[in-house]
Chain A
Amino acid sequence: MVNEVEAVDLVKEFDGLVAVNKISLTIEKGEIFGLLGPNGAGKTTTIKMLITLLKPTSGKAMVAGLDVVTQQDQVRRKIGYVPQESALDIRLTASENLEFFAELYGLPKQDIKPRIQQVLELVELDRRKDDLVAHFSGGMKRRLELARGLLPTPEVLFLDEPTLGLDPQTRRIVWEFIHRLQKEWNLTILATTHYLEEAEHEMDRVAIIDKGRIMTMGKPDDLKSDFGNDLVELTIKGNESSLNEELKSKLLASDLGNTLSIHERAVRVAVADGKRALPLILHKIESLGAEIESISVRSPSLDDVFIKYTGRGIREEGEGGEDTADTRKQVAKIIGKMGRRV
């Protein structure tokens, strides 16, 4: 297998603030690779380094076999990019938007029209090509941007939050298009997302990224099975919103396995076989003097993997707590810095 994207110890600092901290990853040809993480985790910064918009502070990265620092121009000819925020001229028609970029990508004049037709057909917008983008829906705009990413016949397509701000149905449709493109063009795709279900269902492999570091990486199923097959979730009775420290430390010290995690009054344990493990777990917990309020056994989700590696749920961000306040500050700072750069 050929590695289409390869990053080794990538670091990006903005005035001493570390946005990306020694990220290493490899993406094989034809893979859909997901960077999963909360806002401000360093996903966009990583992509921007890979598409030559930001120079890494240190480390090395190759895209399509080319160095992103020393061979910028060649890299730019091999990649398509769909940015996080919609970047379309709403006063121009769909085909005029594409025409502009076809010219910037340096396509031969006689190829421009047929290529625009081709990519618009792929995203099923060919019948709207002479309509102003101002009249497009969010999903159509996203599809048009996907089409634009395909203009240079890229080897690697970078999608930064391709479904951000879209409703669930439209997200589904956009992903269908992404899969179709991937198959028909044998594309390698690097997409960022903070939707867990997308990472779980749409990506071949994911890397969970938090605070600029890759916490873990692998196929969604493998990541989940590291957990064991079943996840036992118990809620401990109590008046307080979270468990007292004494009980917490007792639980963590018990031999229920290193997958045990506690969040507020919920205790999660991953096990190989839920049905068999349940009596033992109940016994252990009751012997510690805790009363159980409710209990459930289910298969682990990527959310559980995420919580295991980052210590919090991906959606909890913004709900308070020291970590999240930190993250938000970091986001604001990085966005400010990046805005000023251009």
Chain B
Amino acid sequence: MLRGTRAVWKREMRKWRRNKVQLISSLLLPVLFLIVVGNAYSGTFSNIPVAVINLDSQTPGQVYGQVLRNSTALTIVATNISVQDATMMINDGRIFGFILIPANFSRSFLYPFPGGVAPSESTRINVTVDNTNMMVSQALQAIAAQALNQTLRDPSVASWYYNKTNRTMPTTGSYITNVDMYSSGYNFMDFLAPGILAMTVLFTSLFAAGMPIILDREIGYFDMLLSTPVNRTEIVLGFTLAGVSKVVAQATFVLVIAIFVGVHMALDILTILYIYVLVILLSLGFVGISIALSVKIEITAFQFVNGLINFPVFFLSGAFYPAQSLPDWLRAVVLVNPMTYAVDGLRAVMIKGTSLVNVLPDVIIVGVFALLTQLLGNLALYMSLSGKKIRVRKRRINNKNKDVAKNQEAPVTLEKQGGSSSESEAPHETESPTT
């Protein structure tokens, strides 16, 4: 039973194992991606060069300056310089921004008590940033806001307030508190890991399933396969299973590395089972597409078409950044992208450890996708293996002829065309009233 399938599978796996360069680089790519991108976009900054201009001599202003100095995110390269100089420094690229503490910053707290100044534009902390570098300038604004939050909670500020007004500082405590839903310590890498896993499945499925078929086709190996008495369906199945096997091996490698580099993951048997269910279904889906492509396309075109599929499918799936950051029309693409559901399911299972019931919709959608593309891929390969494609091409030629005949209004020619193949009967009927 299925000896042909096993033979094809064994051959594919042997070839895959022996091609060390390809094997190692394909294993390393997702791992590199996880480690490099995971750390680069983790949202923590350090040593951003800035200038601080402190015009406020009172306690809150001094505390605020101290908080900024203590921040590991910043490196203060200049203090107490003029605004013009600071602007110049931004232009020169020596700093990413400067933080100005105005002279009446502290006194605005005391309002409406004696010595207070009404809060206005000129009493607020001013953060001027180099907004050509979006990520750094956003981070800078967040750091400045966070420093303010910290300053207001500082006991020395509270006692300064009490000394000045004989009252407790009213605003203390009314600031935002973050509540982490899941145990603390999650970072971007944890968010990214399921996406990278799905990316591995996507890239490997598209490449590793179709490529051997194209190569075999181009060197005439397929003729050899087909001159043997093995069933064509078994050959098709062998290629599909080999493709999925390569993906599973690679996904396992990525998972192990992810655990190794400290990605948070629930590690019970059920979670792992869910992960593999999603990985295999997603893989079947893209293997189907890859095989369907490999039947028609040449090797050079295959690589470009793969890129054309890889890119939007990966970036519009929420694997890398959330769909919420996209405009509506692109969000629609995200919604019809099967990868979105795989990433969503994997993320839920891997990080949150959700039960299968919660990810069942994801599993079903990815499963349906797998079923459809498998039908497509297997049908395409089977058709071409049994030489049925020639008929499709003939039909197209017949249609062309028919159009010519239509223009010439020659029903006699039409009759001949119609008689020659069964496919052209329907248009033939619509034409008959002209006779």
Would B220 and A81 count as touching, CB distance under 8 A?
no
- A255–B384 Cα distance when bound, in Å, is 57
Q: Which residues of B contact A85 (CB under 8 A)?
A: 219-220
- A84–B219 Cα distance when bound, in Å, is 10
Given A15-B394, A91-B15, A92-B11, does the pair A53, B226 have CB atoms closer than 8 Å? yes
Which of B1-9, B99-107, B114-122, B343-351 contacts the other chain? Answer: B1-9
In the complex, which residues 27-68 of chain A have their Cβ closer than 8 Å to any Cβ of chain B?
48, 51-55
**What is the number of residues of chain A that contact chain B, defined by CB distance less than 8 Å?**
33
A185 CB–B CB distance under 8 Å: no
A103 CB–B CB distance under 8 Å: yes
Would B223 and A342 count as touching, CB distance under 8 A?
yes
User: What residue of chain A has the Cβ atom nearest to residue B387's Cβ?
Assistant: A341
Would B229 and A76 count as touching, CB distance under 8 A?
yes
Residue from B6, B10, B229, B387 within 8 A of A105 (CB atoms) = B229
Q: Which residues of A contact B3 (CB under 8 A)?
A: 103-104, 106
Would B15 and A100 count as touching, CB distance under 8 A?
no
Given A55-B387, A341-B384, A342-B217, does the pair A91, B227 have CB atoms closer than 8 Å? no
Tell me, rounded to whole Å, the shortest Cβ–Cβ distance linking A157 to chain B. 11
Would A100 and B220 count as touching, CB distance under 8 A?
no
Q: Which residues of B contact A152 (CB under 8 A)?
A: 228
Grouping DSSP codes into helix (H, G, I), strand (E, B) and loop, the B interface class, with mixed when no group exceeds half, is: helix
Tell me, rounded to whole Å, the shortest Cβ–Cβ distance linking B222 to chain A. 5
Tell me, rounded to whole Å, the shortest Cβ–Cβ distance linking A119 to chain B. 15
Q: Interface size for chain B: under 10, 10 to 19, 20 to 34, or 35 or more residues?
A: 20 to 34
Q: Which residues of A contact B74 (CB under 8 A)?
A: none
Grouping DSSP codes into helix (H, G, I), strand (E, B) and loop, the A interface class, with mixed when no group exceeds half, is: loop
- A83–B218 Cα distance when bound, in Å, is 13
User: What residue of chain A has the Cβ atom nearest to residue B238's Cβ?
Assistant: A104
User: What residue of chain B has the Cβ atom nearest to residue A82's Cβ?
Assistant: B224
A180 CB–B CB distance under 8 Å: no
User: What residue of chain A has the Cβ atom nearest to residue B213's Cβ?
Assistant: A342
A123 CB–B CB distance under 8 Å: no
- A242–B222 Cα distance when bound, in Å, is 47
- A339–B218 Cα distance when bound, in Å, is 7
- A81–B222 Cα distance when bound, in Å, is 12
Chain A 72-98, CB-CB to B under 8 Å as 1, else 0, gives: 010011010101111101011000100
- A264–B226 Cα distance when bound, in Å, is 46
Q: Which residues of A contact B228 (CB under 8 A)?
A: 76, 101, 104-105, 152
Would A84 and B229 count as touching, CB distance under 8 A?
no
- A132–B14 Cα distance when bound, in Å, is 12
- A243–B257 Cα distance when bound, in Å, is 80
Would A81 and B397 count as touching, CB distance under 8 A?
no
In the complex, which residues 96-124 of chain A have their Cβ closer than 8 Å to any Cβ of chain B?
96, 100-101, 103-106
Interface centre among A81, A84, A92, A342 (most CB of B within 10 A): A342
Q: Which residues of B contact A103 (CB under 8 A)?
A: 3-4, 6-7, 10
Beyond A84-B220, A100-B10, list 10 extra A-B contacts (CB 8 Å).
A15-B397, A76-B227, A83-B224, A85-B220, A87-B220, A87-B224, A91-B18, A92-B15, A103-B4, A106-B3
